[in-house]
Amino acid sequence: MRVSIQSFYSSFYGTSFARHFRRIPDIEQSKIPKQFIVKNPKELYLHVHKNSGTHPCFISVYDYGTVDDLKCKDKQNLIFDRVFFDFDVKHVKAEQLKKQLIQLRGKGPHYQKEKQANLKQQLNNLIIDEEIAKSAIDDAKTFSIIFKRDFGEEPALFFSGFKGCHAYVFFEPFEPKEPNKTVHYFAKNVKNSYNFSTLDLSVNKDAISRISRIPYSKHQLTNLTVVPFKIKDSYNEIVRSSLLPKVQPFNVDENLTNLNIHLEKIDDILHHNTKIKPKQKNNSRINTFKFSSYNKPSDHRVFFKQIIGKPAKEYENYNMYHCPFPDHEDLKPSFMVHSKGYKCLGCSKKGNYWQFLKEYCNWDNNEVKKFLLFARIIRRQLLCMPTC
């Protein structure tokens, strides 16, 4: 069933809201207004219709509740009902073409029009023929599968029209005390736990100020449309949909997860740690967190199953994995885990759970302590570690 873009925006953002619409012109020293207040789907549609394909079209992820809150940048009353994740591929040639195209567009959208068209075509060839966005899309699909398994429903996935894609996780609204810290902590653990190399954590560091590219707007550098996709969709089907978009119906209830329950627990802990921080100033060993007892694994074989999954081979006294460290190619499982620790017969790395978390996640001692404390408190709750 086809629906109008305005109807889609009504379902996706609500029938009334207070958000910023932003178009970011490439023209040098442009006097074109860059930001507008939008209060309903019709206003949003009109801005997208006017700017799509010419300027990038972005909108605030969160509804500020009222226009006054939006004007005053008062984030206290934000409606925190979703989290936005961005998957993006680092591709040298695409970045070079993008830079050249932006330089030309900086002198006007029609400056050296043929050269701009040629650069756009080269970008499209990278996206369509060389499938440069595939790794980001594959990560987003895996991300979606995990989310449905652990939090009830899939995120809403969108191809960005360039070399990445977006995921929106919806949940019942709640009022976090530490929204940026909570979202970033959660996203960081998701990235580290599942090795999502394309997940861009910078998007989640300032989550409540985040803007995102608007669905069904055209990317200004490729003219490809931001379109939704499903796990079952092939890369070619996604690109074809972007070339010939058809607006699909959207129902928030079908994407409503229970992630809010988990985020609330993380938020409570982070807020508690923030409150006790001044009392810990002189304790250099503990730094900014008060750590009571945390879980020390009695059997490393169980711990490693929870962190990196099922071993390639299991024996009576030890398990064998393909080495999780990227230092060497490990076609034959050479990473041995026994009850007291681990040792790789290939790269000679060895240690216990503490050394592994430090090196595998690139953490310092404080971050390891923090993780293990949360693992004790939020047992079997966090996506990043099934036994937490």
The pLDDT of residue 75: 86
Instruction: Calculate mean pLDDT across residues 257-267.
Output: 93
Cα 305 to chain centroid distance, Å, stands at 25
Residue 8 CA to residue 215 CA, distance in Å, equals 9
| Coil, strand or helix at 8 | helix
Question: Which one has a higher pLDDT value, 363 or 78?
Answer: 78
Cα 204 to chain centroid distance, Å, stands at 7
Confidence of residue 292 (pLDDT cuts 50, 70, 90): very low
Mean pLDDT over the full length of the chain? 87
Instruction: Calculate mean pLDDT across residues 366-380.
Output: 63
pLDDT at 300 over 50: yes
The pLDDT of residue 332: 86
Its pTM stands at: 0.71
Burial of 14 (0-12, 13-18, 19+ CB in 10 A): middle
Asked which of 2-6, 280-284, 361-365 is least confident by mean pLDDT, the reply is 280-284
Instruction: Calculate mean pLDDT across residues 181-194.
Output: 92
Residue 249 CA to residue 353 CA, distance in Å, equals 47
Residue 221 CA to residue 116 CA, distance in Å, equals 9
The pLDDT of residue 76: 85
- 8 contacts 248 by C-beta, under 8 angstroms: yes
Instruction: Calculate mean pLDDT across residues 39-45.
Output: 97
Annotate 15-48 with three-state secondary structure.
CCCCEEEEECCCCCCCCCCCEEEECCHHHHHHHH
Residue 265 CA to residue 380 CA, distance in Å, equals 12
Question: Which one has a higher pLDDT value, 110 or 18?
Answer: 18
The pLDDT of residue 285: 29
Q: Which of 139, 131, 145, 121 is nearest to 235 (CA)?
A: 131
The pLDDT of residue 38: 97
Domain made up of 5-261: CATH architecture: Alpha-Beta Complex (3.90)
Residue 33 CA to residue 201 CA, distance in Å, equals 29
Asked which of 26-40, 121-135, 235-249, 307-321 is least confident by mean pLDDT, the reply is 26-40
The pLDDT of residue 122: 97
pLDDT at 184 over 60: yes
Cα 337 to chain centroid distance, Å, stands at 31
pLDDT at 217 over 80: yes
Q: Where are the domains of the chain?
A: 5-261, 291-377
Q: Which of 201, 188, 210, 269 is nearest to 80 (CA)?
A: 210
For 291-377, the fitting CATH number among 3.90.1150.150, 3.30.70.100, 3.90.580.10, 3.90.25.10 is: 3.90.580.10
The pLDDT of residue 380: 40
Residue 131 CA to residue 125 CA, distance in Å, equals 8
